[in-house]
Amino acid sequence: MNSMRIDILDPKAKRLLKDLADLNLIAIRDTSKNGFASVLKKLRSKTISAPTLEEITHEVELVRSKRHAKQG
């Protein structure tokens, strides 16, 4: 199966695509409904609280020190 993203410029094209879907030649999935926002909301719902600025800073410094250790 191949997947494509298509920008529909003419409403007639949308009708044609729906006809193809009715014939079971293609499947249409609407991904324009805040896909990123829903994933972000799902990830955030799993945490008890947001990290503090100090926790974020500490994590960034850890990653930076590991990165610099690999380069040097």
Residue 41 lies in a domain: yes
What is the total count of domains within the chain? 1
41-64 mean pLDDT: 88
Residue 43 lies in a domain: yes
Residue 2 lies in a domain: no
Domain span at residue 19 reads 11-71
Both tokens assigned to 71:
């380069």
Res. 12: pLDDT tops 90: yes
Average pLDDT of the chain to the nearest whole number: 87
Residue 47 lies in a domain: yes
Residue 18 lies in a domain: yes
Residue 26 lies in a domain: yes
Residue 31 lies in a domain: yes
Residue 42 lies in a domain: yes
